[in-house]
Structure 1
Amino acid sequence: MRRIAVVTGANQGIGFALVEGLAARMNPEDLILLTSRNSARVAEAADRVKGVAQVEGRVLDVSDAAAVAELAADLQAQYGGVDIVISNAVAPLSPDRSQAEQADQFIAVANGGTQSVLRSFGPVLRPGGRLIVVASSLGTLDQLDPKLHPLFDGPSFEQIEQTVEEWRLAIHAGTAADEGWPEWVNTPSKVGQVAAVRAVAARRREADLPQNTLIASVCPGLVDTRASRPWFDDFSQARTPEQAAVPILDLVLADRVDPATYGELVRDGAVLPWRGNQSSEEKALA
């Protein structure tokens, strides 16, 4: 059966490397949609892909929930669903501007985009499919103040969405620090992404695993990209986007799903503990 894949944030960096890797490893009849929000960059990137599978550029702004839902519905109508979805879109953060000034766009893309992809593409994922969110090891619970843990550890998908929105509002109200939120918005954002994946997976696990379907988040490690360049001085140990894409593609294209990875944050094939390096007291209370 012809497989249909969608990659968001795919005109450059890891997203482009994921598309090119899929194109090399999938079959000639398969179709990969390379999506991003800039039409010119989408067209240019799609033309650059070399591989076996078919690649089509498609304009998609993941911060537009209606647009994400429309694409999912179109693919359901045209192909009967999708087989691979990789949510990779992210808005870059600049150290030259305040975190609060950049929060709205960053959260809209990283968290709003993740939430929209999970909500709209989860229902059209065919049996045996893969729905993957590119996140970070910053997405483990221990990266946050312990008093914030209950907001992400166990609530429903809808409750996590509400928590992310309340955090965004607290940033603008000037109350975020008093509530325990770190100044750097990337950390709560990543925890919110991973928590959203976990919440959706908790609902679907019983039905998905017998069908060899995987929902998970992944950490690509430190990668030399446009988004990471302003924040690090030493990239000697960083991966290229092509290198970072390999373990993600191995997870996506594996014949069988390892149940231990279902709903989890995975880096290089290994699960990163959700609660991270907790104290003995925290573990006892968990």
Structure 2
Amino acid sequence: MSKKVALVTGANKGIGLAIVKGLCEARYPGDVIVAARSEALGKAAVEDLKKEGHTAVFHQLDITDPASVQRVKDFLEKNYGGVDVLINNAGIAFKAAATEPFSEQVEVTLHTNFFSTLCVCRALLPLVKPQGRVVNVSSFTSSQALAQCSPALQARFRDPALSEAELCALMQDFVSAARTGTHRELGWPSSGYATSKLGLTALTRVQARQLSQDRPGDGILLNAGDPGWVRTDMAGPNAPKSPEEGAQTLLYLALLPPGATAPHGELVSEKKVQEW
């Protein structure tokens, strides 16, 4: 039950797979779990890693399915007594050429990137062991989205006392405004993806504050990591970074040494805390 374990969501390709490789190359002293929605793709990724000399474990996880999240929780509790490193990487983005209505894009994107990630956190954060590390994979676009919000919305997102319930209500307000086409006049940005990451960065601050209050002596560090613009199926072939380069900041946060006290509750890009 004392064996260490690191779990990476959305890990069968792209940045998630690069994070898994990075953990293996860093000789992470425990099991590294490739969590992915597709069993076939997840197991294929584990086999590819094996050919490169890396050992990883597959576990099915669809973050949008509460039953799937519960199965992962049960697995971690039974086999490891918790989780030492949790990297919330799974997410989606519509292509620029997507034909779905904006309201639909917003609803689907926020359901996955914000609300489903929150579902994973609610299930797994209580399992994080002392000295654990949690990384929410956010984006530099979260800062851009914040800058595009009205001053009133900016103040609400930056409120140091913002609660999880208040943040969820804010994100639902955006979904509702997009549905009625009033998001711009109500002070919201015009990007579902960037706003979903704004919510995730704000959630990180809320979660870190709560952890510090509830488990002050456990030394858990929880941050939002920005991989930058990375060449993936999601971001396209013209991005300047490889997945391995994009994973560097996320690995830095996941492997912060025991006893470290910072960063915590921050948005970190290029291994540096960003003003937000």
* TM-score, with structure 2 as normaliser: 0.89
Give 1:225's match in structure 2, choosing from 229, 232, 238: 232
2:56 partner SS: strand
Q: Structure 1 stretch 52-61 or stretch 178-187: which is displaced more? A: 52-61
In the alignment, the residues of structure 2 paired with residue 257 and residue 209 of structure 1 have an alpha-carbon distance, to the nearest angstrom, of 13
Give 1:132's match in structure 2, choosing from 129, 132, 135: 135
Give 1:116's match in structure 2, choosing from 102, 115, 119: 119
Q: Is the 8 A contact 1:27 1:53 kept in 2?
A: no
1:249 partner SS: helix
State the one-letter code of the partner of 1:216. N
Give 1:188's match in structure 2, choosing from 192, 195, 198: 195
Would you say 1:170 and 2:172 are equivalent positions?
no
Q: Is the 8 A contact 2:69 2:123 kept in 1?
A: yes
After superposition, residues 1-286 of structure 1 pair within 5 angstroms as: 1-27=2-28, 30-50=30-50, 54-96=55-97, 97=99, 98-140=101-143, 141-154=146-159, 155-206=162-213, 210-229=217-236, 234-235=238-239, 238-256=240-258, 258-274=260-276
Measured against aligned partners, the alpha-carbon deviations of 1:104-139 in whole angstroms (never above 9, x if no partner) come to 221111112221122111100000111110101222
Q: Structure 1 stretch 78-87 or stretch 144-153: which is displaced more? A: 144-153
Label 1:99 to 1:257 Cα distance change in 2 as closer, same or farther (>3 A): farther
Shift of 1:206: 4.6
The alignment-based identity, stated in percent, is 30
Shift of 1:265: 0.5
Measured against aligned partners, the alpha-carbon deviations of 1:10-42 in whole angstroms (never above 9, x if no partner) come to 1111001001111222356x2111112122111
Shift of 1:209: 6.0
Q: Is the 8 A contact 1:83 1:128 kept in 2?
A: yes
Equivalent pairs, count: 268
1:261 partner SS: coil
Measured against aligned partners, the alpha-carbon deviations of 1:151-187 in whole angstroms (never above 9, x if no partner) come to 3223201221122122112211222222111221122
Measured against aligned partners, the alpha-carbon deviations of 1:31-75 in whole angstroms (never above 9, x if no partner) come to 111112122111111111146764111221111234223312331
1:223 partner SS: coil
Q: Structure 1 stretch 263-272 or stretch 63-72: which is displaced more? A: 63-72
Label 1:81 to 1:196 Cα distance change in 2 as closer, same or farther (>3 A): same
Unmatched 5+ residue regions in structure 1?
Answer: 275-286
Label 1:174 to 1:143 Cα distance change in 2 as closer, same or farther (>3 A): closer
1:229 partner SS: coil
In the alignment, the residues of structure 1 paired with residue 54 and residue 256 of structure 2 have an alpha-carbon distance, to the nearest angstrom, of 17
